[in-house]
Every structure is written in C-alpha cells, then in structure tokens.
Amino acid sequence: MRKIYFLIPLCLFIFQIESSTQEPVKGDEDAFFIKKIYNTALTQGQCYPWLTHMTTKIGGRLAGSPQAAAAVEYTKQMLDTLNLDSVWLQPVMVPHWVRGEKEQVRIVNSGVIGSMDLNALALGNSIGTGNEGITAEVIEVKSLDEVEKLGEAKIKGKIVFYNRPMDPTQLRTFNAYGGAVDQRGSGPSKAAEYGAVGVVVRSMTTRLDDIPHTGALGYKKGIKKIPAVAISTNDAEVLSRVLKKEKTHIYMRTTCEMLADKLSYNVIGEIRGSEKPDEIILVGGHLDSWDVGSGAHDDGAGCVHSMDVMQILKRIDYKPKRTIRCVLFMNEENGLAGGKAYAKASNEKGEYHLAAIESDAGGFTPRGFSSTAHPDVFKPKFKKMTEWLPLLEPYGLGFTTGGSGADITPLKSQKGLLIGFRPDSQRYFDYHHTRIDTIDAVNKRELELGAASITSLLYLIDKYGL
C-alpha cells in the first residue's frame, strides 16, 4: 500500500513538470519570463567580466582622475557593443581632489604607549596640513552637539577626535551609517567653529580592524577649513583608551588638495520604447570611486548591474514599451555633480522618468528594493509595485519604503518612483571606501543575481506602468 500512495503524488509531480514545459497559461506568463531573465543573467551575464576589467585594469576612479576618464571610455565602448538605440556622453564639470603623499598620523610621546603610528586616510575634499604637519592635543567627543557644549574654551587649538561608533543594533547597516556619518561630513567644520586645528574621525564601519575608511567631508561656507583624517576602528579604540589615562598629542601630516574643476562625463545608453517612448525607466550607478581601492562594490557593482540589464534585455530580444535608459553617473562620492547635471538637463528637456532604479549598495545577495517619491504620487505608485510581490518573493525580494539613491534623488520633482536596489547589507561597510574594496570581495553569482533582480523589476514596470 505504501508504494501505491507514493506513486500517486509522484505521477502528479511528473504531470506538473511536463505541463511546465508547455506554453504557459496567461497568469503564469510573467513568472516564466522572469525565470528566463534569471537564467540568462546566470549563464550569459557580463557583469562580472566587466567589473573585473574595471577594477583590475583601471582601478580606483576618483572624479577628475585619469582612471575616471578611462572608465568613461571603457563603459561607453561596452555599451556600444550592445546594439542599443543610442549611446552618448553627457559633459559634466567635476571637482578634482587629489590625496597626495601617504598620510602620517601618530600618537606622540605617550606615557602609556609611547609613539604609535595610526592607520589613517585623509577625508575626501579635505585640505592638507602643509609640509610640516601639525601637532596638537587631542580631545575626544561623541557628537557634534558635544563640541558645541565644550565650546571654544576646551576646543581651541586642539585636534577633535570624533569617536561615535556605528550602531551595531541596527539590522540594516545603512541605518547605522546614517546615524554616524555626520561626524565625517559635518564634523570638521563644527570643530573649526570653535577653533580646532584638525579632526580625526573613527572610520565608518561596524567591524573592528586596521583598515581606515575615507569618504567625503563638506566644509561649511564662511568657516575656516581644517585638515581631517579617518583612522581605523582598532586605532580609534587604542586612542580612546589612552585618552582616558592621560592628555595625548597627535602629529598629522597630509598633502591633499583641491585642484581646479575638470571636465568629465556621465555615460548614457538607451533602448527606445515602442509604445510610450516619452516615459523613461532609468537604471544606473555611479562610475566614480575612491582612489584607495578599486571601487568594486562601491560602485563598480552598480554600474555593471545597470549595463547588464541592457545586455540581458537585448539578448532575450525584449522590445520595451517604454524607453529604458542606463546612466553611469560621475562624481557621486565627493560632489554629486553627475546626478545634478543629469537632472538639470532632463528637466530642461521636459523629460519624464516614470521610474529610476539606482544600484549603489554593493554586489551582495539581493534582498529587494526600497523606494521614495514626491509625496503627491508616492502611495499609489508604491502600492502598484507591491502587487508584483508574488512574482519576486520566490527570488528573495521584497519592497520597503524610504530611500533610493543619491544620483537619482534630484529627479524627485518629476514625480516618478525612485527606487534603490537593496542587497544584503551586513558586509558592505567592511569594504566601503577602503583599499580592500576589490574584485576579490565580490562573489560572481551574487553579482549576477543582482542584475537579474533589477532586470525583473524593470520588466514589470515597463509592462504594467505605475
């Protein structure tokens, strides 16, 4: 009897398998097409070889650098090979900051540990200390508010050490980053308001290691500019322990400087829509990266994701109803010039972006998408998108609200849906803005799954609108 009961479900299973190879019924059409997208991405995707070339043959692509120019040329050539309807370069003037010589940051003549070199990187856009460097007493703070409370009497003439860690209780590490990064972005000017001569910032990562993380600062207009560096989390822990026992001095020497703005480009390619060409669906990432690594996760992954979306659509001979546009933005890291220039030109042309999808969270395992939009349109557009959850949940994808991408945020006034691709975030800030953000940190299959995920959502938006 057991054999008989076993054969019945087995026969049903075989029938289902055979049925699935036949022409799908209307309700299953999208599921079968999305499966086709994934099959293509995982067997014929080009994102990994493109990223390998970009990171190993070109390297770090700081805006204004020769490497950034090489990346523009390379990605344009690759888009040219896809037989798109149009590929072009959009001129944009970008800031040109250079790091200069290797940074020197040292605890000097401590009664506790003697002199000790710290692993450090100058923050992007920072001025240098000058050839002689600076030496000053260090004062530790946890917040910008604490600087204000201490005031000029305790801050003047000192180096301010911002040492608030990223919150490890935040399950999404981007939230932890957002809760700590004001120290890096605004901390130098806040310290300068009260007479500080320099700033040291704890690196933005949840991990304890010896790898310093760079990143941009923004000087406040009218406030004196002072040099700023980030130190590794391990060194931040050491410095904090020493400060609890004695007054401590640090020597800093950096030769970074901001040069004149330089001409660069956004790289753009598109497939023209067959029915509603004036409705644009954008997919993009930022082409620039910091100079200390090779920008594999940030944001080489987002660029090759976006390029591979176009490659996959062409390979499966998909004819979109709406115009699909790939945009590789220049200068997200230390100025956002590319995103601003693109939105300005788009608005002047009277374009309408029905949706814009940015991949700028690494090449890790896909988890879904977050979205935002102008308040007038967000609720109905987001609700429409959630109707597709049954098609995407089998691939581990979901939808959340809040946030999209820095480069596409300037398009908000067009009242389309702004969407951020969200892979698993737990390891992202191990590599973010560091020398270890290299191709070795990227898993080929995870990267390909990202391209498939974005292509699938884009297909649904194109087919059904919002």
Contact at 8 Å (CB) between 447 and 387? no
Known catalytic residue at 148: no
Contact at 8 Å (CB) between 273 and 321? yes
What phi and psi, each to the nearest 5 degrees, are found at residue 120?
-145, 155
Closest CA to 360 of 286, 310, 293, 288: 286
Distances (CA, A) of 452 to 125, 197, 237, 310, 364: 36, 49, 41, 11, 13
**Of 279, 332, 333, 448, which residue is the catalytic one?**
332
Contact at 8 Å (CB) between 37 and 456? yes
Residues sharing a CB contact under 8 Å with residue 153, sequence separation 6 or more, in sequence order: none
Q: Which two tokens stand for residue 378?
A: 């967000």
Round to whole Å and give the CA distance between 411 and 344.
9
- Active-site residues, by number, are 332
